[in-house]
Structure 1
Amino acid sequence: MPKIVDLFAGAGGMTEGFEQAGYQSALAIEYDEMAAKTFSFNHPQTPVFIKDIRTIQEESVREALKYSPIDVLCGGPPCQGFSLAGKRLTDDPRNQLFLEFVRMVNLINPRFFVFENVSGITSMSGGAILEAILQEFRTSGYECFFKVLNAADYGVPQARPRFFLIGTRDGEKYNFPDPSHAPTSVNDLFLSNMPRHLNVWDALSDLPYIEQGEGSEEMKNSTQAHNAYQLERRGNRSAGTLFNHRATGHSEAIVNRYSAIPEGGNNSQVPIHMRTKKINVFKLHREKPSRTVTCNHRTDLLHPVIPRGTTVREAARLQSFDDDYKFFGNLTRKAKWVTQDDQVGNAVPPLLARAIAKSLLTI
């Protein structure tokens, strides 16, 4: 069974997708305690280093891996504010987490690495940042292949563009996975025979109907699944269990404002006397893939039918997590650790990770 190591693992979306494809998770590294708790609950067989990656000694990693070879090292280090000197990355603190990823690549020497990040990384500093990143990996002996993928093309009910860079060694070539789903309107004959992009209602229509302020951290879902996607999301860890389906309570004024936003619209479309300065509040459209799920989905991404923000479970459904994938932590940013919203919004959609994982198995 091929093995993976997940750096900056967060709640475990990348690992979840790789495990679904038949990989064994050998190690995860995650600094945040609540994200690590989520990861460990859902991947109990995986050892997790809950510490700053910069403090982890190389011998500790070798011992945790039992000195065995690793097939894939994956992760998405934060890459905001990169600093360049000429055409090279400097030792600026803003580059440190990425350079830690490179350090782990050099230490573990995996057959492949998967580097995931925001789609905008391709245009940072006019492309100079990406070229510097590629040079770092090439210096480590890897050939690089990169592409921006849309999660909706791989069965995720969300239009979420993400950058993937795959590194191979020993001269191996890599081809990104072909899409499994296509947009609703396509003229391409190759795409016309594919299933269409899943929409919001494909993902959410079977979840228990709860108003603002209702729901709980654990409940049973006794409704019927309406499609294959919903049936697959029911999971197999504890059939019928639904975690994190708790809706934020809103004031009457907020409920009225949310009700006035048209489906598929935003806060700028409500009557003037109801508007606030905040306009990045979007109501999902049932017949379209979701917008990108963010870390503020409970206030910025509204349910298409009920005048409230999306629950953590609804956001997780849009990210393609199974219903029994449990998230730990607070719903508000009053604690030291990241919230459930952060964990879901920052995650790699498991089905997108699964597509990448399966494509690596073909090499």
Structure 2
Amino acid sequence: MKMDKYTCIDAFCGAGGLALGLKQAGFNILLSFDINQTCIDSINKNKKYFGHPAIQADISDMLNGKLLDYCKLKRGELFLLAGGPPCQGFSIQRRGEDTDPRNELVSKYACLIDEVYPSFFVMENVTGIAGKRGKTILEELIDKTKSIGYEVYVNLLDAQDYEIPQRRKRYIIIGVRKDIKHSYCLPKKSNRKITVRNAIEYLPVPPENGKDHPKISLHRRDKLSELNLKRINALKEGQGRDDLPKELLADCHKVASSIIGYRNVYGRMSWDDVAPTITARFDSFTRGKFGHPDQPRSISLREGALLQTFPIDFIFTGNKVDVARQIGNAVPPKLGKIIGRSIIDTYEGDE
């Protein structure tokens, strides 16, 4: 495979989940950029996996030809522009006003696509981008990129269908420049399920004192309150708040989950099923079904990273909240690799 041929720039790169997967698929990453310096620090710490430059920059800093200048490229030379504009503004979990300044990042990404004019582009986002909050913004991106010469393919992928141990539905928008003259090859689903057991059962029990395991970084237990310890000990694997005794329910959860939702808060994962979606707050037992299947604790940061398919020695910088956010917001590297291969297959099918 010609590495110089499959060039890629990774926008909104986060901790590098998508970039790692694309690199594994055969891409030559020229640059990663993100507004969050902690994410950039993580990429730069992982010399084992990355050799390309990663810089702190807002997408506005890369418009008006600056990205092309930085990478010494001309319009149309880049093979792939990849990115996932921050999605919280579209999230179905988010409540309140529909306006969110982060929603503007999608339109700026469309402008960057126009300026760079790569052979392919990728945009990953939450399911909410096709819902009430995001539909107009998504349609604007599709209309703009079609008008400048792309065929656009919008597909909802669930990570568990691609041997990733997690339910994680995300829209993957692929743009194929019309001179490629070939339809996008959607990756094939697998019949094999990778479970929580497959992903994390082999890990040793983390220390009781809350410190990292001496041989596994970020494998530590979060301290639970006395009440939450009672809650998790009252649950078997796979159970959630609906299975708790009434006296252990929070007042706000004494109304049935069928009415107010939040069925899986205070829940345990199941060994022989996939995990729920790993979110930016997966480290908290109160935020979802993030309890360990049989130990009285929430899953560790390292376990969350493994469920996201990061290598066990991948380095994340920052404090506990920073690390959980980087892991939960990432594209699973294995999914990134599958997406990358589908793009290469599309291109090579045209040769």
Q: With the length of structure 1 as denominator, give the TM-score of the two structures.
A: 0.80
State the partner residue of 2:203. Answer: 207
1: CA distance between counterparts of 2:115 and 2:32?
15
State the partner residue of 2:172. Answer: 164
Out of 327, 331, 350, which is 1:344 matched to?
327
State the partner residue of 2:29. Answer: 25
- Residues 1:215 and 1:71: Cα distance change in structure 2 (over 3 Å): same
State the partner residue of 1:232. Answer: none
1: CA distance between counterparts of 2:12 and 2:66?
17
Out of 163, 167, 190, which is 1:155 matched to?
163
- 1:214 positional shift: 3.3
1: CA distance between counterparts of 2:100 and 2:229?
46
- Residues 1:215 and 1:207: Cα distance change in structure 2 (over 3 Å): farther
Out of 274, 279, 283, which is 1:289 matched to?
274
The one-letter code sitting in structure 2 at the alignment partner of 1:51 is A
Which 10-residue stretch deviates more, 343-352 or 205-214?
Answer: 205-214
Out of 119, 143, 158, which is 1:135 matched to?
143
- CA deviations on 1:280-331 (whole Å, 9 max, x unpaired) are 2321000100110111111131111111111111001111110011111111
2: CA distance between counterparts of 1:254 and 1:213?
17
Equivalent residues of 2:110, 2:141 under 8 A apart: no
2: CA distance between counterparts of 1:92 and 1:126?
10
- 1:266 positional shift: 1.2
- Residues 1:50 and 1:16: Cα distance change in structure 2 (over 3 Å): same
State the partner residue of 1:326. Answer: 315
Gaps of 5+ in 2: 91-98, 254-261
Aligned-partner SS, 1:11: coil
Equivalent residues of 2:229, 2:296 under 8 A apart: yes
Equivalent residues of 1:204, 1:314 under 8 A apart: yes
State the partner residue of 1:45. Answer: 51
Equivalent residues of 1:212, 1:250 under 8 A apart: no
Aligned-partner SS, 1:245: coil
Out of 96, 109, 121, which is 2:104 matched to?
96
- 1:252 positional shift: 3.0
Aligned pairs for 1:72-151 within 5 A? 72-79=80-87, 93=101, 95-124=103-132, 127-151=135-159
- Residues 1:347 and 1:254: Cα distance change in structure 2 (over 3 Å): same
Aligned-partner SS, 1:14: helix
Following superposition, which runs of at least 4 residues in structure 1 exceed 6 angstroms of deviation? none
Aligned-partner SS, 1:17: helix
The one-letter code sitting in structure 1 at the alignment partner of 2:68 is R
Gaps of 5+ in 1: 83-90, 183-195, 221-241, 333-338
State the partner residue of 2:235. Answer: 261
Equivalent residues of 1:212, 1:249 under 8 A apart: no
The one-letter code sitting in structure 2 at the alignment partner of 1:288 is D
1: CA distance between counterparts of 2:106 and 2:133?
17
Aligned-partner SS, 2:161: helix
- 1:256 positional shift: 1.8
Aligned-partner SS, 1:243: coil
Q: With the length of structure 2 as denominator, give the TM-score of the two structures.
A: 0.83
- Residues 1:109 and 1:212: Cα distance change in structure 2 (over 3 Å): farther
Which 10-residue stretch deviates more, 142-151 or 41-50?
Answer: 41-50
- 1:7 positional shift: 0.7
State the partner residue of 1:226. Answer: none
- 1:126 positional shift: 9.3
- 1:50 positional shift: 0.3
Aligned pairs for 1:221-236 within 5 A? none
The one-letter code sitting in structure 2 at the alignment partner of 1:291 is P
2: CA distance between counterparts of 1:357 and 1:105?
18
2: CA distance between counterparts of 1:311 and 1:252?
19
- 1:361 positional shift: 1.2
- Residues 1:121 and 1:158: Cα distance change in structure 2 (over 3 Å): same
- Residues 1:76 and 1:284: Cα distance change in structure 2 (over 3 Å): same
The one-letter code sitting in structure 1 at the alignment partner of 2:71 is L
State the partner residue of 1:11. Answer: 15
State the partner residue of 2:222. Answer: 248
**Total equivalences in the alignment:** 313
- 1:63 positional shift: 3.1
- Residues 1:121 and 1:311: Cα distance change in structure 2 (over 3 Å): same
Aligned-partner SS, 2:218: strand
